[in-house]
A and B are shown apart, each in its own frame.
Chain A
Amino acid sequence: MDLSYTPEQQAFRAEVRSWLEAHVPKAPLEHYDATREGFEAHREWEKTLKSGDWGMVTWPSEYGGRGLDLIQWLIFEEEYYRARAPGRVNQNGIFLLGPTLMEFGTHEQKSRFLTRMASGEEIWAQAWSEPMAGSDLAGVRATAVLDGDEYVLNGHKIWSSRAAFADWAFGLFRAPGSERHHGMSLIFFPLDAPGVTVNPIRKINGHVGFAEIFLENVRVPAFNRLGEEGQGWHICMATAGFERGLMLRSPARYQVAAAELARLWQARKDDPWVDPALEADVVRAFMNAEAYALSIYQTASRLMAGAKIGPEASTNKIFWSELDIHLHRTALAILGPEAEVLSEPGAHDWIDDYIFSLAGPIYAGSNEIQRNIIAERMLGLPRK
């Protein structure tokens, strides 16, 4: 074990830092889920990132990446959050679908989809859930029927993050008559294809961050199917592993927030309404963010030594989603009566991020499902 960075890793950090200092917009962009303008401003930022070859640093250069290892990815993410660079509007693509495409896609599919994903030319949404298939994802009813060299897609998807403004979606469809985990395929479709209707859904923060999607005889080339027909469930679970496990939530995100919380505490701890006992929560938030970072470094080291990500990915998802809520609740408690005042500049971001944190235990597989996975696949408790 050697917990220090090599000179090359330090030089890499310096390179990332100086590029970000020169390029990160000085004023924060409008949120990508708030308006079309905010969304497009983030797409422009993705293109700027690509111009510096920072689109997706771990991917091979032939698909628009830099071929870096996971430790370098962590360093990049640390500098990215430290620089307060804009959120990644294409996270569904680059962090979820991308790694899955890398594993299951053909060379032609990778060339077609990954490069434009890394450059921000095509922004992706996820289309898995349906009104009757949430936690029970195997209850998906949307269908895909092969007709010549095209699939005909029909069905109703919902809670699709980014779908209100995105260009493409990756969805789970089944062969008519197939049941449960069998007969499903993962298929890509353009959100502006004939037969696709997208209805934005307002979230509790007022943004239109997700949408429902109706598909009516939507025709896409069979080329858009990832992996073998009927292998959709298996492939989705691999995607879910990345989502819960490593890439969706960088530790850096929480370390920046924990540092902000410590500054808030130092500034406000002598205010008469502030409970001195909250110091223990400030320490707790710091510890949680550190523990998550150390755990991810450990996972990165293991993966680099040849291990595969397994059901322990579910522990990550529980840990980051719960620490995020705790951290923001602590901030709101310190802010006291200011916490509800949206026009208060010091409070606004804390409230916004608190509201967002409440989604954490729900999306990417609810924490109840994650606890079942841990119990059954890590601990070996019986399913029934």
Chain B
Amino acid sequence: MDFTLNDEQQMFAETARQLFADTCTPDHWRRQMESGAVLDEERWAQIVDTGFPLVLLPEEAGGLGLGELDFAVIAEAAGYNALPDPLVESAGIATPLLAAARPDIELMADPAAIVAIQHPANPYVADAEAASALILHKEDEAYLAAREDVTLKRKESIDPFRRLYTVEWDPAKAQPLGAVDWELALDRGALFAAAQGLGLAQRAVDLAVEYAKERQQFGKPIGTYQAVKHHLSSAQVAIEFARPVVLAAAADLAHGDVQSRARISHAKLVALEAADQAARASIQVHGAMGYSWEVDVHLFLKRTLALTSSWGTPYFHRQRIMHRIAAQPLGPDQTFARETVHA
């Protein structure tokens, strides 16, 4: 029993925090919002250099063969910086799914290649325009189509950095991948949404703390007032009790049993609730400034809103937890238990 991150995971987290802090500044956000570019090529090249897109790929597909916990700490940093690039959806969900189905596919040789995924849980495909290829689904079977062989229609998201599309495609022009593990893809999607939620939440709190230390009213910083303090303390409590759930869900995702799925669902629910609470508290603490486009807090609110219902709605995830409650033994000795058949 050891609930700590190893050195490699701490290093990934630190590298990601540093890279995103340097390359995802408010200036970068604004420039990309104005240009409308679907990808910041320069930043993406730096991300590729770190090896992050290879973390979850198996070694036979040229990857690092690491686990979900290694990637989760990167996704958390992505959330903290509202990363606009499709790192999480491509490298966290789509390419590992593709590598499992076709480890020798040519696309795998290019670590910079972006793959988008159309998943039954999501009505729209994120980042399809920046992708070289798309994983598509039809009657539970998966297909791979090149970007130029499909027709994309943009659906504007409230999050300026979420690029959503509907896809028209012809199975005759796509490569069949057969049956793939859609549920595993959903588990990863939900888990990494949760990990991003932790980052979104912490950034929203940090921005508000910074502001509350500076902003003066009635002759002193507003951060001295308990009404302001307590908003932010409550949000921080929510973060503190979401983070261990996300880490435990990541560490045990590979079991793919009722317990691990319930824990992923738990992580998804509470991390995005924490992000929602933190983002709304942050806007409130910023006052009218928080309601302005100029102040960046709204980016965190909007990403939270988008992630809350992608990769399974809160209702979907509550149902998975209820299933675990009803179908498996409960109690204090069951925290780390694995599925028992016919319990």
**Which among B232, B240, B335 is the interface contact of A375 at CB below 8 angstroms?**
B232
Residue of B nearest to A258 (CB): B330
Residue of B nearest to A265 (CB): B325
**Which among A5, A6, A297, A371 is the interface contact of B244 at CB below 8 angstroms?**
A297
Task: Determine if B277 is an interface residue (Cβ-Cβ < 8 Å).
Answer: no
**Residues of chain B with a CB closer than 8 A to A256's CB:** 331-332
Contact across chains for A371 and B247 when beta carbons are under 8 A apart:
no
Residue of B nearest to A293 (CB): B335
Shortest B332–chain A CB gap in Å is: 4
**Residues of chain B with a CB closer than 8 A to A300's CB:** 3
User: How many cross-chain pairs have Cβ atoms below 8 Å apart between A and B?
Assistant: 166
Contact across chains for A371 and B270 when beta carbons are under 8 A apart:
no
A380-B213 contact, Cβ under 8 Å, with A3-B3, A3-B248, A297-B3: yes
Contact across chains for A3 and B1 when beta carbons are under 8 A apart:
yes
Interface range for B: 35 or more
- B-contact bits for A226-254, CB 8 A (1 contact / 0 none): 00000000000000000000000001100
Task: Determine if A384 is an interface residue (Cβ-Cβ < 8 Å).
Answer: yes
- B-contact bits for A247-286, CB 8 A (1 contact / 0 none): 0000110011011001000100000000000011011001
Task: Determine if A138 is an interface residue (Cβ-Cβ < 8 Å).
Answer: no
**Which among A279, A315, A382 is the interface contact of B237 at CB below 8 angstroms?**
A315
**Which among B236, B247, B333 is the interface contact of A82 at CB below 8 angstroms?**
B333
A315-B224 contact, Cβ under 8 Å, with A82-B332, A287-B266: no
- B-contact bits for A362-384, CB 8 A (1 contact / 0 none): 00000010111011101111111
CA–CA, A378 to B203, complex, Å? 14
Task: Determine if B35 is an interface residue (Cβ-Cβ < 8 Å).
Answer: no
**Residues of chain B with a CB closer than 8 A to A5's CB:** 1, 336
Task: Determine if B343 is an interface residue (Cβ-Cβ < 8 Å).
Answer: no
Contact across chains for A291 and B244 when beta carbons are under 8 A apart:
yes
**Residues of chain B with a CB closer than 8 A to A287's CB:** 245, 266, 269-270, 321
Task: Determine if B233 is an interface residue (Cβ-Cβ < 8 Å).
Answer: yes
Contact across chains for B318 and A315 when beta carbons are under 8 A apart:
no
CA–CA, A230 to B275, complex, Å? 44
Contact across chains for B266 and A291 when beta carbons are under 8 A apart:
yes
- Main secondary structure, interface of B, reads helix
Interface range for A: 35 or more
Contact across chains for B332 and A283 when beta carbons are under 8 A apart:
no
A82-B3 contact, Cβ under 8 Å, with A286-B325, A381-B232: no
Task: Determine if B6 is an interface residue (Cβ-Cβ < 8 Å).
Answer: yes
**Residues of chain A with a CB closer than 8 A to B193's CB:** none
Contact across chains for A375 and B266 when beta carbons are under 8 A apart:
no
A283-B318 contact, Cβ under 8 Å, with A291-B266, A293-B332, A315-B236: yes
Contact across chains for B251 and A382 when beta carbons are under 8 A apart:
no
A279-B322 contact, Cβ under 8 Å, with A368-B226, A379-B236: yes
- Give the interface centre of A251, A286, A383 by most chain B CB atoms within 10 Å: A286
**Which among B209, B270, B322 is the interface contact of A381 at CB below 8 angstroms?**
B209
Residue of B nearest to A319 (CB): B241
A379-B330 contact, Cβ under 8 Å, with A297-B1, A371-B233: no
CA–CA, A259 to B326, complex, Å? 10
Contact across chains for B3 and A259 when beta carbons are under 8 A apart:
no
- Main secondary structure, interface of A, reads helix
Contact across chains for B318 and A382 when beta carbons are under 8 A apart:
no
Contact across chains for A294 and B331 when beta carbons are under 8 A apart:
no
Task: Determine if B242 is an interface residue (Cβ-Cβ < 8 Å).
Answer: yes
Contact across chains for B241 and A291 when beta carbons are under 8 A apart:
yes
**Which among B234, B245, B332 is the interface contact of A291 at CB below 8 angstroms?**
B245
Contact across chains for B4 and A372 when beta carbons are under 8 A apart:
no
- B-contact bits for A1-23, CB 8 A (1 contact / 0 none): 11111100100010000000000
Task: Determine if B199 is an interface residue (Cβ-Cβ < 8 Å).
Answer: no
Shortest B25–chain A CB gap in Å is: 22
**Which among B3, B69, B237, B322 is the interface contact of A318 at CB below 8 angstroms?**
B237
**Residues of chain A with a CB closer than 8 A to B326's CB:** 262, 266
**Residues of chain B with a CB closer than 8 A to A124's CB:** none
Contact across chains for B233 and A3 when beta carbons are under 8 A apart:
no
Task: Determine if A27 is an interface residue (Cβ-Cβ < 8 Å).
Answer: no
Within B207-247, which residues are at the interface with A (CB < 8 Å)? 209, 212-213, 220-221, 223-224, 226, 228-230, 232-234, 236-237, 240-242, 244-245, 247
**Residues of chain B with a CB closer than 8 A to A295's CB:** 240-241, 244
A301-B236 contact, Cβ under 8 Å, with A3-B248, A266-B326: no
Shortest A310–chain B CB gap in Å is: 12
Contact across chains for A302 and B4 when beta carbons are under 8 A apart:
yes
CA–CA, A312 to B233, complex, Å? 11
Shortest A170–chain B CB gap in Å is: 29
**Residues of chain A with a CB closer than 8 A to B331's CB:** 78, 82, 255-256, 259
A381-B236 contact, Cβ under 8 Å, with A256-B332, A290-B266, A294-B248: no
CA–CA, A376 to B236, complex, Å? 12
Task: Determine if B129 is an interface residue (Cβ-Cβ < 8 Å).
Answer: no
Residue of A nearest to B234 (CB): A371
A262-B270 contact, Cβ under 8 Å, with A2-B1, A291-B242, A383-B224: no
**Which among B1, B3, B229, B241 is the interface contact of A371 at CB below 8 angstroms?**
B229
Residue of A nearest to B3 (CB): A301
Shortest B224–chain A CB gap in Å is: 5
Shortest A366–chain B CB gap in Å is: 12
Task: Determine if A81 is an interface residue (Cβ-Cβ < 8 Å).
Answer: yes
**Residues of chain B with a CB closer than 8 A to A290's CB:** 245, 263, 266, 335
Shortest B244–chain A CB gap in Å is: 4
Task: Determine if B109 is an interface residue (Cβ-Cβ < 8 Å).
Answer: no
- B-contact bits for A152-179, CB 8 A (1 contact / 0 none): 0000000000000000000000000000
Contact across chains for A301 and B2 when beta carbons are under 8 A apart:
yes
Contact across chains for B237 and A374 when beta carbons are under 8 A apart:
yes
**Residues of chain A with a CB closer than 8 A to B66's CB:** none
Contact across chains for B336 and A379 when beta carbons are under 8 A apart:
no
Task: Determine if A298 is an interface residue (Cβ-Cβ < 8 Å).
Answer: yes
6 nearest CB pairs, A to B: A375-B229, A252-B332, A259-B330, A78-B332, A301-B3, A371-B233
25 contacts between A and B (CB under 8 A): A1-B69, A3-B3, A3-B251, A5-B1, A71-B1, A78-B335, A79-B332, A82-B332, A290-B245, A291-B244, A291-B245, A295-B240, A298-B3, A298-B244, A312-B240, A318-B234, A319-B240, A372-B226, A379-B205, A379-B233, A381-B229, A381-B232, A382-B223, A383-B224, A384-B220
Known: A4-B336, A378-B233. 6 other contacts (CB 8 A): A1-B3, A71-B1, A259-B331, A287-B245, A291-B241, A374-B233
